[in-house]
Amino acid sequence: MLDIQFIRDNPKLVAEKSKQKGYKVDIEKLLDSDKQRQELLSNLMDHQRARNDLTKSSKGQRPSDDQIKKGQVLRETITKEEEKLRKIDQEFTTQLASVPNMPLDDVPVGASEAENKVIKTWGEPREFDFAVKSDAELGEARDMIDKTRAAKVSAARFTYLKGGLVELEFAITQWVLKTLGDERLIERLITQNNLSLVAKAFVPVLPPAVANTATYMATGRLNGEDETYKLADDDLWLNASAEHILAPMYLEEILPEDQLPIRYVGFTTAFRREAGSYGKDTEGIFRMHQFDKLEMEVFSAPETGLDEHRLLVAIQEHLVQQLGLPYQLLLKCTADIGKPNARGIDINTWMPAQKQYRETHTADFIADYQARRMKTRLRRQDGGIELVHTNDATAFAMGRIIKAIMENYQTHDGHIIIPDVLRPFMSGKTEI
C-alpha cells in the first residue's frame, strides 16, 4: 500500500506511474473517498467526545432523564456514522490497495516483458557436438521425471521426481544453506559491490505452507483463486512462494532498530495454478503447479533497503556463477516488475534445448509498500517509529534450476555431470 499522504500530494505522478505499470487507477475517486472518510471521521470524533463528556458529567451517579435522552440521540448518531464509516473505509482501503508501488527512476518504462533491459551477460553457452536433449527427454529416458503417472494420480503439471534429480535437489538445498550461512562470503559480496551493509548471515527457515486470507492480502501478493490455490474448507491459501509466508512474519510488530537487518532463507514447496499459461511450457519441469523453492527475504531499515536489494542480486549471481551456468541479468521494466515492486531484477539462465535464456530468478525491491499494510515497523534508537523495507529474491526455484543443470551439463549418452560445488553434498558423486 502507498502512503495516502503521498498520493494526496502527488496525484498526477501516482496516476502516471501506475499507468506505466499497466494499472488503471482512478486517483480522483480515491481522493474523493479519502475526503469523505476524513469528514466522516471528524464528525464521528466530535460526537464521541460529546458522549464521553456526557458520561463524565454524571460522575457515576444515575444520570437525569434529560441526559439519558441526549445520550440516546448521540448513540443513534454515532451508530449511523460508524456504519457509514465502515462502508466508506472499506471502499477507501480497496481503492488505496489497488494503487501499485511507484517504480524507481532507473526502472525502464515498458509495456511488456519484451522491454526488460539486459544489463549483463555472464558465461558462454556451451557448444555441443551432439543433439542436445531437453530436461524432459533426459529425465524420462532415465526414469527420473514421470509426469505421466503424476497426471494420472494428481493432475497435469505435477511430477514424480526420482533418483539422481532428488539427490541433486537436496544437494542444492544444503549448498545454498551453507553458502548463505557464510558470513565471510556475505561480507565479501558487500565489499565487492560497495554496499553500506552489515555482514550478517541468512537464517534458514522452514515456514508454514499456507497463509490465511487477511495475512496473504497484506503482502499484496494475493491475486485471487485463478492464480493461487485456496483450501475449500478453510480460510487458507497454499503459498505460491516462501516469500509470501516469510514477508508477513512480523505482521503488526515493531522491531528494534539494532535487530535489523533480518535475513532469512526459506525453503518451501510452492503451489501455483498457472492460469493463463495453458499450452505454455508444457514439456519438462520448467513450469509446474508444485515446485520447491529456496527464497531469500530481508527486513531492513529504509536507508539500507536498496542496498539489500543489490546484495540479494549479488548473491543470486554468485550462486548461478558457482554452478557455471550462463545467464543474463535483466532490469525489469515497469510492466513486468509487479504491483508491490519499486524495482525488479531477473536472472535468465541459458537453457540449451530451447537455445534461450529463461527466467530462473527474480529479486524484488518492495521498499515500504508491503510494510505499510503489514504494519511491520522499526523503533529507532531515539524512539522514532518507521516502516521497514522488505526485499525478496529467489535463491533457487528447483524445477527451473534442475532443468538448467540437466541441459547444460548433459553428456552425449544422456548422463548429467554434477557441478563441482554440489559434489560434496552428493557423497562425491560426479554424474547422474
Partner RNA sequence: GGAGAGGUGGCCGAGCGGUUUAAGGCGCACGCUUGGAAAGCGUGUGGAGUCGAAAGGCUCUCGCAGGUUCGAAUCCUGUCCUCUCCGCCA
φ/ψ of 120, rounded to 5, equals -165, 140
**CB neighbours (10 Å) of residue 11?**
14
With CB under 7 A as the contact rule, the residue among 10, 36, 43, 48 that binds RNA is 48
CA distance 238 to 231: 7
Quick one: which segment of 68-76, 98-106, 186-194, 398-406 binds RNA (CB under 7 A)?
Answer: 68-76
- Our finding on whether 217 is near RNA (CB under 7 A) is no
φ/ψ of 158, rounded to 5, equals -120, 160
φ/ψ of 116, rounded to 5, equals -65, 145
- Our finding on whether 254 is near RNA (CB under 7 A) is yes
CA distance 46 to 41: 9
- Our finding on whether 148 is near RNA (CB under 7 A) is no
CB of 30 to RNA, least distance (A): 14
Give residues 309-348 in contact with RNA (rule: CB under 7 A): none
For 322: left if phi > 0, alpha if psi spans -120 to 50, otherwise beta; the answer is alpha
- Our finding on whether 60 is near RNA (CB under 7 A) is yes
Nearer to RNA, 114 or 385 (CB): 385
Amino acid, res. 56:
K
CA distance 311 to 190: 7
Quick one: which segment of 200-208, 265-273, 282-290, 376-384 binds RNA (CB under 7 A)?
Answer: 376-384
With CB under 7 A as the contact rule, the residue among 38, 112, 269, 430 that binds RNA is 38
CA distance 345 to 348: 10
Q: Which residues fall within 8 angstroms of residue 200, CB to CB, at 6 or more apart?
A: 183, 186, 261, 263
Residue 349: closest CA among 402, 393, 309:
402
Residue 134: closest CA among 399, 407, 401:
407
The label of the residue with cell 501516482 reads 14
Enter the C-alpha cell of residue 15: 496516476
- Our finding on whether 232 is near RNA (CB under 7 A) is no
- Our finding on whether 41 is near RNA (CB under 7 A) is yes
Binding-site size, RNA (CB under 7 A): 32
Nearer to RNA, 28 or 252 (CB): 252
Question: 164 with 430: CB under 8 angstroms?
Answer: no
Quick one: which segment of 50-58, 115-123, 186-194, 413-421 binds RNA (CB under 7 A)?
Answer: 50-58
- Our finding on whether 206 is near RNA (CB under 7 A) is no
With CB under 7 A as the contact rule, the residue among 68, 151, 156, 203 that binds RNA is 68
With CB under 7 A as the contact rule, the residue among 40, 54, 109, 301 that binds RNA is 54
∠ CA 40-45-47 to the nearest 5 degrees? 100
Quick one: which segment of 70-78, 156-164, 240-248, 261-269 binds RNA (CB under 7 A)?
Answer: 70-78
- Our finding on whether 67 is near RNA (CB under 7 A) is yes
Quick one: which segment of 22-30, 170-178, 279-287, 379-387 binds RNA (CB under 7 A)?
Answer: 379-387
List of residues contacting RNA (CB under 7 A): 38, 41-42, 44-45, 48-49, 51-56, 58-60, 62-63, 67-68, 71-72, 74-75, 79, 83, 86, 254, 377, 379, 383, 385
